[in-house]
Structure 1
Amino acid sequence: MKHASAALLLAMAAISTARAQSAGQWMVNAGWLHLAPQSSSQPFTANALGQSSTLPGSGATLEDADTFALTARYYLTDHVALEALLGIPPKLRLNGAGSLGPVGELGTARAYSPAILAQYHFGEPTARLRPYIGAGVAYVWFRNVQLSEPVATGQLLYSPALGTQLEGPTSVSLSKTFAPVINAGLTYKIDKHWSVGASISYMWLSTNATLATRSGLGTVTTTTRVKINPIVSFLSIGYRF
């Protein structure tokens, strides 16, 4: 009986230790992040001389972008985790579409988008391969915005009626926003510390762009709403503490 009791106590201690190595653990991942915007925009609307007019057929799209990213994951239980995502802000390139297609690049901006997600991890903590799903929110803002020459000089506002009178030095602002995120991924454990991971996420992200042109006839405001909605792929190497 003494031997049986001792074996039972050891087994309980082993189970407790196994749980402690999952619930309460931290994992840090670093790797390559790819953004594939599923972008579109509303037509550009110019407000000048007390009137509003839409640039017929105008639009904009965004190119794919790559960057380096880090995640920090904390396991609340063996299956539920919280993950924070940070990275080097990628440079997004906005190109003209429709009637603005011949203009080419309209401008660039750095996108800052830290995110936090709640995840559910399937399988046992000791399994080598563990899939997961998650959902959360990102807070997005833009810095280092640079306009191409046709936009920075207001050339987009040329009209047959007024000629170049509405053109002039132009600045831009992009709205900040919260963006819902969903993701799914896999973690493959190499040993008790190291692992590799892959995930794919989708973010519902839009921003309002406002151009302010200081023309000889007064300030002209041009607005549009750009849908970015990126599919985000992340390949990484992880270390478990």
Structure 2
Amino acid sequence: MRTPIAVFATAALSLALSQAAMAYQEGDFIVRAGAATVDPNEDSSNVKAGGADTGWTAGVDSNTQLGLTGTYMITDHIGIGLLAATPFEHTLDLKNSPDNGSLADIKHLPPTLTVQYYFNDTKANLQPYVGAGVNYTTFFDEKFTSKHKSQGYNSLELEDSWGIAFEAGIDYQLTDNLLVNASVWYIDIDTEANFKVGNTKAKVDVELDPWVYMVGLGYKF
């Protein structure tokens, strides 16, 4: 018959082995998927048309898509992270003009590469982390609304952007492989929108500088 001490020792050893099995360590891959929201903290210059200042400004709304992240642990505490997503879709608004409201629809992809630091002991189920790195955002499929097309707006193009990015997140391992994740990024995204009204060239500088929020599930292998 097993003594209480032996039972306790066996349970403690089992718990320790279970915790060790759930460790983050060098060589691990962690993939995560979930809902990602891009919430622009935008600012813009005044729209210039034919070199003249119109006094109009631009704004951008939020959008939620499928977010995907991956991490490769190069040491027990340091990882290389990549943020990807299905294309985000935004409405570009015109402000302070006779035609206030939706100006155009745009799409973008913001792949972001970061170096991450995981704070806790490698055996901990709870793994908070921070990261910093670089973002590249490419804009495409820019289309004016039918209203503005009928008013002669055409040839819309947004320049791609390079900028710095910061992130913070937390993983909680439910099993040896399955985890839940919550994370946030601040990304420096600046672009110049060029278009025409009839044959008159126009442009506006837009700082999107969004907060990106993501909640999802992950898998470690």
What TM-score results when the alignment is normalised by the length of structure 2? 0.86
> 1:235: which partner in 2?
215
Secondary structure of the residue that 1:135 maps to in structure 2?
strand
Partner of 2:41: 38
1:222 aligns with 2:202: yes
Q: 1:43 aligns to what SS in structure 2?
A: coil
The answer to whether the 8 A contact 1:170-1:212 is kept is yes
Question: What percent of counterpart residues are identical?
Answer: 27
How many angstroms does 1:112 deviate by?
Answer: 1.2
- Closer/same/farther in 2, CA of residues 21 and 176 from structure 1, 3 Å limit: closer
In structure 2, the partner of 1:129 is 126
CA RMSD after TM alignment: 1.9
Distance in 1 of aligned mates of 2:24 and 2:196: 56
Q: Which AA in structure 2 matches 1:177?
A: S
**Bigger Cα Rg:** 1
Does structure 1 conserve the Cα–Cα contact (< 8 Å) formed by 2:93 and 2:103? yes
> How far has the Cα of 1:85 moved from its partner?
1.4
Query: Structure 1, unaligned stretches of length 5 or more?
Result: 1-13, 156-167
Query: Is 1:25 matched up with 2:28?
Result: yes
Contact 2:22 2:173 in 1 (8 A): no
> In structure 2, how many angstroms separate the alpha carbons of the residues matched to 1:203 and 1:238?
22
CA contact (8 A) 1:103 1:150 kept: no
Spell out the pairing of 1:38-57 with structure 2 (5 A cutoff).
38-47=41-50, 52-56=51-55
1:21-52 per-residue CA deviation (whole Å, 9 max, x = no partner) reads 610110110111011111121111011xxxx2
Q: Which runs of 5+ in 2 are unaligned?
A: 1-16
What does residue 190 of structure 1 align with? 174
Tell whether the 8 Å contact from 1:118 to 1:136 is kept in structure 2 after alignment. Answer: yes
1:94 equivalent to 2:85? Answer no
1:171 and 2:155 correspond? yes
The question of whether the paired residues in 2 share the 8 Å contact of 1:170 and 1:211 is answered with: yes
Q: How many residues align?
A: 203
- TM-score in terms of structure 1 length: 0.79
Aligned partners of 1:207 and 1:226 also within 8 Å: yes
